[in-house]
Structure 1
Amino acid sequence: MSARLDLSVFVQNDFGRRGVPVSRSFETWVRAALTGRRRGRAEVNIALFDLEPARDFNLRYRGKDYATNVLSFPYEPAPREKSRLLGDLVLCPPVIAREASDQGKRVRDHYAHLTVHGVLHLIGYDHEKERDAHKMEAIERRILAELGIADPYN
């Protein structure tokens, strides 16, 4: 897939700026996740929410009553609909900051990892089965290494 990727990333930040990467960083991470896996036109929406709204999303869509770091919502176009939208990511900055601290990672690197992870979900990758998890983690490691980010699974 050598064709150029025409990418649009829209970031909605309902959390606030403190500790949150700028939109350009998210675009860099989305592009890295899609390079070699997608070509043509693509659009990804990223929303950042505080704990309570993130918890509400997780409860409503996954049946889990806690705020999680990232949720992915792949877009499923109607039959014969042509859409460049791959889907939406919901990120929760307080959870991301806490996890980064607990795991001894740079917050920015954790955002990069979770963005890449979420985008891979948008294009069909999954980690429900062990074999699929190994494959997805290997792809994440490779993408993050290209971005100069250490292995998130170490």
Structure 2
Amino acid sequence: MNKHINLDVACDSSDIPKLEDFQNWLNQTVDFPVTVNIRIVDEHESQAVNFEYREKNKPTNILSFEFDCPEFIDPKETDYLLGDLLICASIVNQEANEQNKPLNDHWAHIFIHGLLHLQGHDHIDEDEAIIMENLERQILAKFSIPDPYRQENTI
């Protein structure tokens, strides 16, 4: 089963996971052939895109842009573009530091969170948030990463 990542690093940060890490996280999160585009950016680009698409004038850790698959294509039967993820390296790194989490664990969480958004999951209402958070916990546990929502794992 083919799962591809196109990784574009558009910022100066040495604290970015390896492509192999992203690939492992993708393999455990998506169970059908896909391509995912990842762009790692600075705060300026994150803020600009967040403002353009969400009208929020601040940088954010991740933005997810789901591909709108044509109805005549079954995404689970063909390798298709799942979508694009825009990740702000400095925000993710800052959050990991503030929450006393291992950096790679937090990157895994943010990336998996974005992948779930690309698969149609959301956390706008409480019921959806519970479902999405439980999926995140289950996937992260495959990597022995603690529950990111437990109080002792955050400040």
Same fold (TM over 0.5): yes
How far has the Cα of 1:30 moved from its partner?
1.4
Question: How far apart in 2 are the matches of 1:28 and 1:123?
Answer: 17
> Which residue does the alignment assign to 1:58?
50
Read off the aligned partner of 1:136 and give its amino acid letter: M
Which of these residues, 10, 27, 33, is aligned with residue 14 of structure 1?
10
Deviations 1:46-97 (A, max 9, x none): 0000010010010001110111001100001345467600000000010001
Deviation at 1:16, TM superposition (A): 3.1
The range that moved more, 136-145 or 13-22, is: 13-22
Aligned pair 1:67/2:59, yes or no?
Answer: yes
TM-score by length of 2: 0.89
Query: Which stretch shifts more, 78-87 or 134-143?
Result: 78-87
Segments of structure 1 that go 5 or more residues without pairing to the other structure are none
Question: Mean Cα displacement is larger for which, 82-91 or 108-117?
Answer: 82-91
Cα distance in 2 between the residues matched to 1:7 and 1:70: 21
RMSD: 1.4
Identity of aligned residues (%): 35
Long gaps (5+) in structure 2: 151-155
Aligned residue for 2:36?
Answer: 44
Map 1:99-110 → 2, pairs under 5 A: 99-110=95-106
Question: Any residues of structure 2 matched to 1:5-154 within 5 Å, and which?
Answer: 5-34=1-30, 38-39=31-32, 41-78=33-70, 80=72, 84-154=80-150
CA contact (8 A) 2:2 2:79 kept: no
Q: Which amino acid in structure 2 is aligned with residue 141 of structure 1?
A: R
- How many pairs does the alignment contain? 146
Q: Which moved more, 1:76-85 or 1:141-150?
A: 76-85
Distance between the aligned counterparts of 1:142 and 1:74, measured in 2?
22
TM-score by length of 1: 0.90
